[in-house]
């Protein structure tokens, strides 16, 4: 009888773990991020005082610029051509479904009208709450709203300086024996996040940046911060950088809803310690800089951007693509041109991106990638090769094959140059005869929609 009671106690405890433990929590995370995983493509915007330097957003740290040396740029900040309505139209044209903009970067300057500081855009010649205008503009285009907020602050008096690995005043003897009260900074930081979560309506994403060294997790009072955020914005999703810097994948993420690898794409989809899929998003620059950099003209091609987007989606991931407006508030013309070219492709082939993910059981091919949505496979022919697209053991499963962009029926066959039908091979080619190689109609990525029975 005692053994039976012990067994029932164990069974109850185990079932409680399944309901309340990591597996259920992970599945709830997947449900909460469903819109995000359907959207797949977003815009990142880095804009602030650093744009005036024209040397990227880390200029203060790299060149060890003091608050006093930085102040003239604050006093002169006046982006008179700032027009987020144009940005929103461009994002929509490119096929982006959500956006994340810097509200405060590491330099501590706020683009919103915070009541907790004078270090903000409303106290500069522009005299405007730039975040309010951004939210209204993108919301009007039906694009979901995200806020970037830096956990670092190189302006606040109670943020560590001398021994901090990133602060502009690191190693400066003037601050060696400085006494600070980090709790004062945490109160300030939590207060500003509360303002952002309270004053701009429904916010879809909070993108915090970033943890390093000892400055991680509990150092930020992350548990309390997340609880407050969810009280104010119950449906919001968050990245993982309260617990890391985004470059290292965290198998057991305590604070965030999605992983945020930077400037690279994982080799495969991500999963947690219980082998449940983890939402993720690669953030990527269009050149090599996040903030405006007038010296950086190493622009990525539209082809590379489209192929990276497809690569992310084929592994159940998103792409967050960055623009860095100039001091006047204009997105660089090179960025605009790239996004417009990307938009031409997404308008024709978006069905193979939005709501899509990994094609189960189909690995990446030398000619490109597969994505899938329900009973439709999408073969992304991105890298030209000799001969047709080859599928194995699919000839009995396929209902139709057509080119997604124009609906034209694709040429298919179950044999090619004498290959036996019994081998289970199925061939897709752009045109007849099947053994010929023809140019694809889209030089970047011709997408074949394969409808399964």
CB of 419 within 8 A of CB of 435? no
Q: Is the pLDDT of residue 10 over 60?
A: no
Whole-number Å distance between alpha carbons of 99 and 32: 18
| Per-residue confidence (pLDDT) for residue 432, from 0 to 100 | 61
243 burial via Cβ count (<10 Å: 0-12, 13-18, 19+):
buried
Over residues 31-50, mean pLDDT = 97
User: What does the pLDDT read at residue 437?
Assistant: 52
CATH H superfamily, domain 368-452: Golgi alpha-mannosidase II (2.60.40.1180)
**Closest to 250 in 3D by CA, of 218, 276, 258:** 258
- Residues 399 and 347: beta-carbon distance below 8 Å: no
Whether pLDDT at 251 is above 80: no
pLDDT digits (tens, 9 = 90+) for 273-314: 888 899 999 999 999 999 999 999 999 999 999 999 999 999
Of residues 357, 373, 425, the one with CA closest to residue 394: 425
Of the given ranges (138-142, 319-323, 337-341, 425-429), which has the lowest mean pLDDT? 425-429
Return the CATH number of the domain spanning residue range 32-352: 3.20.20.80
Mean pLDDT estimate for the chain = 91
Task: Give the range among 14-28, 186-200, 224-238, 265-279 with minimum mean pLDDT.
Answer: 14-28
Q: Residues 6 or more apart from 360 whose CB is under 8 A from it?
A: 372
Q: pLDDT tens digit string along 81-109?
A: 999 999 999 999 999 999 999 999 999 99
The pLDDT of residue 247 is 80
Three-class HEC string of 58-107: CHHHHCCCCHHHHHHHHHCCCCCCCCHHHHHHHHHHHCCCEEEEEEECCC
Tell me the two tokens of residue 354. Answer: 């939005």
| pLDDT classification of 21: cutoffs 50, 70, 90 | very low
Averaged pLDDT for residues 2-26 = 47
Taking every pair of Cα atoms in the chain, the longest distance, rounded to a whole number of angstroms, is 81
When pLDDT is cut at 50, 70 and 90, the band that residue 422 belongs to is low
DSSP assignment of 226-243, as one string? HHHHHHH-TT-EEBSTTS
In this predicted structure, what is the pLDDT of residue 26? 77
Determine the Cα angle at 78 with ends 112 and 135, to 5°.
Answer: 35
Cβ neighbours around 362 below 10 Å, total:
17
Instruction: Kindly report which listed range (35-39, 384-388, 404-408) carries the lowest average pLDDT score.
Output: 384-388
Q: Which residue has the tokens 């193979």?
A: 352
Quick check: 404 pLDDT over 90? yes
pLDDT tens string 152-192: 999 999 999 999 999 999 999 999 999 999 999 999 999 99
Helices and strands (H, E) in the chain, number of each type: 12, 14
DSSP output for 329-351? SPPPHHHHHHHHHHHHHHHHHGG
What pLDDT is recorded for position 23?
A: 65
DSSP per-residue string spanning 265-291: --SS--B-TTS-B--EEEEE-SSS-SS
pLDDT of 343 reads: 98
pLDDT(419) > 90: no
Q: Is 113 exposed, middle or buried (0-12, 13-18, 19+ CB in 10 A)?
A: middle
For position 16, what pLDDT does the model report? Answer: 38
d(CA 288, CA 117) in angstroms, rounded, equals: 32
Q: How far is CA 212 from CA 241, 338, 356, 405, 444, in A?
A: 9, 33, 34, 45, 39
**What burial letters (b/e) apply to 34-71, b meaning 16+ CB within 10 Å?**
eebbebbbbbbbbbbbbbbbbbbbbbbbeeebebeebe
* In the chain, where the domains are located: 32-352, 368-452
| pTM for the full predicted model | 0.93
Whether 12 has a pLDDT exceeding 70, the answer reads: no
Q: What is the pLDDT of residue 428?
A: 87
Strands 376-381 and 398-403: unpaired
Please report which helix (H) or strand (E) contains residue 403, including its range.
strand 398-403
What is residue 245's predicted lDDT score, i.e. its pLDDT?
86
Tokens, residue 387: 């001969």
Q: What dihedral do alpha carbons 373, 269, 440, 410 form, nearest 10°?
A: -30
> For residues 162 and 112, is the Cβ–Cβ distance under 8 A?
no
Q: What is residue 129's predicted lDDT score, i.e. its pLDDT?
A: 98
- Please tell me the predicted confidence (pLDDT) of residue 374: 97
């Amino acid at each position: 009888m005692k053994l039976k009671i012990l067994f029932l106690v164990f069974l109850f405890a185990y079932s409680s773990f399944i309901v309340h433990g990591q597996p259920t929590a992970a599945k709830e995370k997947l449900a909460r991020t469903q819109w995000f995983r359907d959207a797949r493509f977003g815009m990142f915007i880095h804009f602030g005082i650093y744009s005036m330097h024209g040397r990227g957003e880390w200029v203060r740290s790299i060149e060890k610029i003091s608050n006093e040396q930085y102040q003239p740029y604050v006093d002169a900040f006046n982006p008179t051509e700032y027009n987020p309505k144009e940005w929103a139209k461009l994002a929509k044209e490119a096929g982006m479904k959500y956006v994340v903009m810097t509200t405060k970067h590491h330099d501590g300057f706020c683009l919103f009208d915070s009541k907790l500081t004078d270090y903000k855009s409303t106290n500069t010649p522009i005299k405007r709450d730039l975040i309010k205008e951004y939210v209204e503009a993108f919301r009007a285009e039906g694009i979901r709203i995200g806020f970037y907020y830096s956990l670092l602050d190189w302006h606040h008096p109670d943020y560590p300086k001398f021994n901090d690995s990133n602060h502009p005043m690191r190693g400066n003897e003037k601050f060696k024996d400085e006494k600070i009260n980090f709790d004062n900074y945490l109160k300030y930081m939590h207060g500003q996040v509360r303002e952002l979560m309270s004053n701009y309506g429904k916010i879809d994403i909070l993108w915090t940046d970033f943890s390093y060294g000892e400055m991680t997790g509990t150092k930020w009072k992350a548990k309390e911060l997340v609880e407050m955020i969810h009280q104010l914005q119950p449906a919001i999703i968050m990245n993982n950088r309260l617990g890391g810097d985004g470059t290292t994948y965290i198998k057991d993420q305590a604070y965030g809803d999605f992983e945020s690898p930077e400037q690279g794409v994982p080799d495969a989809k991500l999963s947690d310690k219980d082998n449940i899929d983890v939402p993720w998003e690669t953030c990527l620059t269009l050149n090599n800089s996040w903030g405006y950099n007038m010296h950086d003209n190493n622009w990525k091609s539209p082809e590379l951007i489209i192929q990276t987007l497809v690569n992310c989606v084929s592994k159940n991931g998103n792409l967050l693509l960055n623009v860095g407006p100039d001091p006047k508030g204009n997105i660089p013309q090179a960025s605009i041109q790239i996004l417009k070219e990307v938009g031409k492709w997404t308008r024709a082939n978006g069905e193979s991106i939005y709501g899509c993910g990994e094609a189960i059981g189909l690995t990446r091919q030398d000619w490109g990638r597969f994505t899938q949505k329900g009973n439709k496979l999408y073969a992304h022919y991105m890298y030209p090769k000799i001969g047709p697209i080859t599928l194995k053991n699919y000839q009995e499963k396929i209902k139709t094959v057509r080119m997604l962009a124009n609906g034209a029926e694709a040429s298919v066959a179950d044999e090619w140059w004498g290959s036996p039908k019994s081998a289970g091979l199925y061939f897709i080619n752009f045109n007849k005869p099947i053994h010929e190689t023809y140019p694809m109609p889209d030089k970047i990525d011709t997408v074949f929609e394969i409808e399964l029975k």
